[in-house]
Chain A
Amino acid sequence: MDLDALLRCVGTTSCVVTQLTSGMIIGMLLFLIASGVTLIFGVLNVINFAHGSLYMIGAYAAWTFYQLTGSYFVSALGAAVAVGVLGVLFERALMSKVYGSNVLMQLLVCYAVVLISDDLIKIIWGPVPLSMGMPPEFRLPPIRFMGGVIPPFYLFMILAAMAIGLLLWLVIVRTRFGSIVRAAAINGPMVSALGIRVNLYYAAVFGIGSALAGAAGALAAPVRSLTPGMGFSILIESFIVTVIGGMGSIVGAFVASIIIGLTRSFGSIGFPLFVDGVMFLIMALVLIFKPSGLFGRAHR
């Protein structure tokens, strides 16, 4: 515990600005992943425990595309699309077989996919951690703002994540596709009875959720090391976010991501040894006092 240090930091603008942005960086990447989890849960009512693997595959795919094309933007887009397609395949071939059955069966299928993809990554890319390196267009000196420091790439990352989030929200709220998806989330059989092929929409939603994870992987690739099993730690954090925000709520995921991001960035100064503990404490408190999460509809 070093609460003095935390107070000192809060007292200086440079520290506050730097930690605020670093909280946003951590939070926004988390948001991209958690929004996929929450979207899939909200519509399909399944918890995709394999979401961390999709993130990992996104990062590795981006790495390979980058080796081939040399363009970061093409690689990021390619990774998102590739993981989206993979997500659709995963949904059709495996997850759709266990809809409606026990949540534990779904868990088991996801666990199998996590194991298989970790090993396949090791076979294809090797166990040595890979690094993509910062694309040349982002190799710029950090921006100084009110005494704080913000790297240009992170600024791009925050804006990209926010833009994707906004786009997702607009699609769900404003388009015909979105209204059908929302309807299917509430009553799938009824939508089906209206002559709409709900299965296609389920697959599409799973694909979109997966593409979000792929995009997050691609955004993380230049700054995080790529190893088999890298989806493991991100998975549990994205669940904390999903639960705090409310299962199924994209706005909730956004707010919760920022809460977790700021907990990490300021916590590392104030209570560095118990940051993880505090995250789970927040999760437990939310569950105790408002089980449906900050923005969730009461479920059942």
Chain B
Amino acid sequence: MTSIESGRASRRRVLKGAGAMAAVGLVGAPAISKAQTGAIKIGVPTILSGRVAILGQTSVGGLKDVFDKFNAAGGINGRKIEMVVRDSKGAPQEAAKVTRDLINNDKCEIILDAEASSAAFAVQEVIREVGVLCIHSNSETSSLTADPKLHVPTAFRTARQGIHDAIGGGDYAAKIAKAKGLKKWATCSPDYAYGRSNTAEFMEYAKHFDGNIQVVEESWPKLFQPDYTEVVTKLLNAKADAMYSALWGGDLVAFIDQANLYGLFDKQASFMVNLGDYGVVDQVKQFPQGVYSGGRYNRVVPPTKENEEWYQNYVKTQKHKPTNWSWENAVAAEFIVEALKKTNGDTNGKKMAEAIKGMTLKSQFGTKGSVTMRAEDNTLVDYIIGYGVSLSKEPYVADFQSSAWEPIFELEKQWKKKQGYIS
């Protein structure tokens, strides 16, 4: 907690400046002007309150360890990294305001955007104007980096991307569907952009790999809907062979609990991309058999010594288990640290972006022991992606199959053409 504490102390000091300025109103002059000599400030807009406070908490957890190590090693040119974390409550306009304040008021030189999707789009617009380096660490919506209209030269993404998950997952699902004869499929995903695009893409590629698959029922519960009874009975009536779901977090736990009452999982195979996360898979009390889940973060994926150490260290310092968001943020932090080394501590947005573009980073979260920031669209590739069978206790996953990246690249290119993103 030490570094967070110090972060807080400095926030207070900065704030005194801000408060004074706001109070004096129009007369106040900028109080802080030692940007180039003090710590390198990294602004982190994220969600710390409400139903998805866990997103912010486990994101910051993932960042902290990397920056602590960097600071312990002496920083760069005597400058250390200081995180300034702000709660946007998940509202896009607040996220935009908070991001601008972090840059203008707190003199943050880099933005690490740990927001969920719609707020990430708002942050992207701020970055377009201001031009500092920004890494989106949590938004999985493909268009954020794939759509050239939304492209911002100094903005990158280290979150996994929906289309990658869909291609890898579709391939895996098709193999099982062929082996077990799963032809009629139903879907159950939250009714918002992530759930809709993720589900459409997953089913598209499942059909691509197995022509016999057809979707017989779609259900779209609202995000954070407390009761799924009507959805479960609708799925029951559909009598499908298999189901795909992009529900996540507490919603997924509630859905499984409620579907269990109707014995839904006995009647069909189920593919749930977000079940693998800690905080979800270890919360389900009555675990259905033979459920397939996507790879989020797991301490045995990959089954290496480094991964186990990372997990142990995270649990020791944060007192909770890491999530998918934790590794995505850890990778984002690594990119920033590496880029700073390359630019010799120069935080200029253009220079940092040049350094990060196309950078390959040694990382335990990569399929080949490394991950790459793809130069053509500023998004992360070669990270571990795949599916496995979920278990009710440690290690919570068995028979994990990592997707190969070459076919993903191939199909992703076709998808981009179809969307009109590339010609």
Contacts and interface: CB of A to CB of B under 8 A. Distances in A.
Interface in A210-227: 220, 222-227
B423 interface: no
A70 interface: no
Given A149-B236, A225-B253, A233-B224, A122 B53 contact: yes
Given A118-B50, A227-B51, A268 B231 contact: yes
Nearest to A138: B261
B234 A268 contact: yes
Contact of A141 (B54, B227, B263, B279): B263
A interface, by DSSP: helix, strand, loop or mixed?
Answer: helix
Interface stretch (A18-26, A198-206, A250-258, A280-288): A18-26
Interface string A257-290: 0000000110111001100100000000000000
Which 10 pairs show the lowest CB-CB distances between chains A and B?
A133-B285, A129-B250, A225-B250, A151-B261, A127-B53, A225-B254, A268-B230, A22-B229, A265-B230, A127-B54
B31 to A, nearest CB: 30
Contacts of B279: 128-129
Interface residues of A, number: 50
Contacts of B254: 131, 223-225
A234 interface: yes
B261 A265 contact: no
A18 B236 contact: yes
Nearest to B221: A268
A26 B262 contact: no
Interface of B: 49-51, 53-54, 57, 191, 218-220, 222, 224-227, 229-234, 236-237, 249-251, 253-254, 257-258, 260-263, 279-280, 283-286, 320
A86 B219 CA distance: 39
A134 interface: yes
Contact of A129 (B49, B231, B261, B283): B283
B227 A265 contact: no
Given A22-B229, A122-B53, A233-B225, 7 more contacts: A118-B49, A118-B50, A128-B54, A133-B286, A134-B261, A154-B229, A230-B226
A265 B262 contact: no
A142 B265 CA distance: 13
A122 B49 contact: yes
A130 interface: yes
B230 A128 contact: no
Contacts of A273: 191, 220
Given A22-B233, A26-B229, A133-B286, A228 B258 contact: no
Contact of A131 (B50, B57, B222, B257): B257
A223 to B, nearest CB: 5
